[in-house]
A and B are shown apart, each in its own frame.
Chain A
Amino acid sequence: MDDKLVVGIADMKMARQNGMLITYALGSCIGICLYDPLIQLASLVHIMLPLNMETGRKSPLKYADTGICETLRRMEQQGAARSRIVAKIAGGARMFETAGGGNLGNIGQRNIESTHMVLKREGIRLLREDVGGTVARTLLFDASSGQACVRSYGKPELIF
């Protein structure tokens, strides 16, 4: 438990060769695992919203578009190569079924779409995903193997 690096909301952490990254309770948020297998560099970013429309852009990691780009930039600084980086994502659930409520519609679904679009645009291969639905997920990402694990309430653990 104590050897895990905890990634908060609108936050990103990196680990190399060994170490476990974890982000808790992804609801409509998405956890994006990015991995360069050759140098075993793993990063996990926890985004909350699909697109950055802030004028000051103070918190790039809060949004799918700027969050992914910022993470890729920092990975490349650490020696990762864009062509080797692969992605696994989890989250984007709809926590409450509200009839007509919420002027933003289904944030989870929009997060998923935006994440897909940005990964595609950046040329990152999406290996696996566990997205949508109505359950919260805790996402773990192992830097030594590049393996991800999803823990949800009332469901068996999913390793991918």
Chain B
Amino acid sequence: MKNYEDLNGLELDTIREIGSIGTGNAATALSSMLGCEVRIEMPEVRIMGYNEAINWIGGPEIITAGVLVHMSGELNGIMLSVQQMEFVNLVLERMVGHTVENYEQLNDLDRSALVEVGNIMISTFINALSGLAEITTRLTVPAFAVDMQGAILTVPMAEFGGQSDYIMTIGTNFICNGKAVPCRLLLSPDIRSLNFLLKKLGVLDG
């Protein structure tokens, strides 16, 4: 069984390709929901230590909204949609017709819109991935939290903390109407599922 840090170039490329197809599909879904043009940056696959991951996402204490879904079945893991303020306002403006100045102003309808956007993007991503690898994946009902992003990111870390000192994230930023919007879609599979997935796709070496 290969741990995150043991992956070779071909395996990482394959994961990046999965990320590319997944986020491409999620971008299409986002575009039709918001009714605007959505492009994606080249997805990144990163294998990071815990503290490195928190710096990479922009520091521990920044408040963000997170939508979290657990995956089970042939693929186990967590998928997170981390939505920073600019993205939140873009969604709210398009879907409910107003914006907020801070997270405290979010009402029930706003929250529900954000959960739905996160959920649809995550589901589209996983659907594309499942189709590609011919696997079945079940998703839980999405959970929503507004809090320090460092704590939100420790949820997948703690989930797999017994297996690895690293976290693997596959994700990208979205560009809506030509403007980069900080919304990351992060997939963190567990190690067993990652090996299974690479094997299914015929690239697992050894």
Contacts and interface: CB of A to CB of B under 8 A. Distances in A.
A98 B104 CA distance: 22
B201 interface: no
A27 B151 contact: yes
Contact of A8 (B51, B146, B147, B151): B51
Interface stretch (A33-41, A48-56, A75-83, A141-149): A48-56
Interface residues of B, number: 32
Contact of A96 (B60, B63, B76, B145): B145
Given A24-B61, A49-B162, A98-B70, A9 B151 contact: no
Contact of B145 (A58, A59, A101, A134): A134
Contacts of B76: 103
A69 interface: no
A96 B68 contact: yes
B205 to A, nearest CB: 24
Contact of A101 (B61, B140, B151, B157): B140
A154 interface: yes
A95 B60 CA distance: 14
A12 interface: no
A17 B97 CA distance: 55
Interface string A61-93: 010000000000000000000000000000001
B140 A99 contact: yes
A153 B61 CA distance: 9
A102 B148 contact: no
A130 interface: no
A9 B147 contact: no
A56 to B, nearest CB: 11
Interface of B: 50-51, 54, 60-61, 63, 66, 68-70, 76, 104, 140-141, 143-152, 154-155, 157-159, 161-162, 165
Given A28-B155, A49-B162, A95-B154, 6 more contacts: A9-B50, A24-B54, A58-B165, A102-B70, A136-B147, A138-B148
Interface of A: 8-11, 24-29, 48-49, 53-54, 58-59, 62, 93, 95-104, 107, 134-138, 153-154
9 nearest A-B pairs in the assembled complex, by CB-CB distance: A25-B150, A27-B151, A136-B151, A101-B70, A24-B60, A96-B143, A25-B60, A8-B51, A101-B140
